Amino acid sequence: MRVQAIRLFGDPVLRSVAEPVREFDRELRGLVKSLTITMRSGAGRAGLAAPQIGVPARVLVYDYDGKAGHLVNPRLELSERKVTADEACLSAPSAWWPLERSYMVVARGRDMFGKAVTVRALGVLARVLQHECDHLDGVLFSDHLPADERARFLATVAP
């Protein structure tokens, strides 16, 4: 396994809706390992979704504050309580922006072997899971910003 290149804002793959995983096989396990290695290859990285390395599969990995793992075909249940905090994306390096997200989530999905998994998360980890699930739907975190804020953000990440 090697560190994969992370696709940057402007790459059309980031706008694609990822396909559900149907085969829980060696290829999937390799993808999870590759995502994990890539996520951990830099400081401050807390999550990564398969589309960010060009793979259109509904798979994400996370590692924050002692909680690490992966989810295949995740679904989120969001709390009504919202909180605004700075958020960043590996696909837009060095750009942080305040964004409102649910404070708590319950994420349900499968592990790389097909076993059911439930992750309950608060605060930053909840934010990470929401952010990475957005990537699986072709949504970038800047899409959640008001139009004027989005324009300012995109100006900071323009090539």
DSSP secondary structure, 54-97, as one string? T--BSEEEEEETTEEEEEEEEEEEE-S-EEEEEEEETTEEEEEE
Q: Read out DSSP for 6-45?
A: PP-TT-GGGGSPPBPP---SHHHHHHHHHHHHHHTTSTT-
Catalytic residue among 19, 87, 100, 132: 132
CB-based contact 53:70 (threshold 8 Å): no
Write out the two tokens for 27.
């290829």
Ramachandran sector of residue 42 (left: φ over 0; alpha: ψ -120 to 50; beta: rest): beta
3-state SS class at 134: helix
Question: Is residue 132 flagged as an active site residue?
Answer: yes
| Residue positions annotated with a catalytic role | 132
